[in-house]
Amino acid sequence: MRKAVLFCWMVISAQLLFAQIESVLPPRPTPAVLYNDLTEGRSFLTTAQADQLERMLVAYDDSTSTQICVVVVESLQDYTANEYATALGRSWGVGSKQFNNGVVILISTGGESGNRDAYIATGYGMEGVIPDVVAKSIVENDIIYNFKEGQRYRGLEQAVQSIAKAATGEYKAPARRKKKERDIPPAVIIIALLLLSMLFGGGGGRRRGGGFGGWTGGTFIGGGGFGGGGFGGGGFGGGGFG
């Protein structure tokens, strides 16, 4: 009985959280595009770079049916990057509804504390090939590393390439940028997972991103478009963005 009550509470909490975030999310783009600069002036990349990245994303979607959507925002609206990216993927329906194979690369450029961030959220169907450790490595070694060097386009380009490699089992984290990981006591892991499950209804709250302080720095050609499915706690269901 207690388990049933707890499960119902978890589901309701997850739905309430999504409803709250959805009210502050940007609307789904029409026509659908895979690179979305929603900042004032839309100058995160040059026009040529934005077009080139869009072509790369569309080509990958066409050849694999896996959608990678890059979204640049100025503010996370007081939510974490995980919450925002996951809700965005769910609201926009990134990825195939059949395979739930969407990926959202979220960049937040706001300067206030805790708002400048980079994060990778995956659809349920991509969680096996892009687990937390891989997503975090891509964020740190591709996105943040290049952003700090003033190379915004290169950071996003390499992140997309790394995600494509991970999807085929070919990705390996650069040895020179790996950080030594400390063993976490099992009890701490269990407690953390329980708390996160209670908050997000399964899989949410996992850290796949990182802040990046101090860095300086069209339309679909083809493809199926976004799908209309929804992101869940840690992953999201697709639906064919389009």
What's the pLDDT score for residue 231? 39
Q: What's the angle, vertex CA 122, arms to CA 119 and CA 125, rounded to 5?
A: 170
Q: What is the pLDDT of residues 78-118, one digit of tens each?
A: 999 999 999 999 999 999 888 899 999 999 998 665 568 99
CATH 3.10.310.50 fits 2-177+184-204, yes or no: yes
What's the pLDDT score for residue 120? 98
- Using the predicted structure, report yes or no on whether residue 223 has a pLDDT greater than 90: no
CA distance 105 to 139: 9
* Domain locations in the chain as residue ranges: 2-177+184-204
Q: Looking at mean pLDDT, say which of 67-76, 189-198, 207-216, 226-235 comes out highest.
A: 67-76
Reference 132, options 73, 193, 175, 71; nearest CA is 193
Cβ-based neighbours of 200, under 8 Å, separated by 6 or more: 13, 14, 17, 83, 233, 234
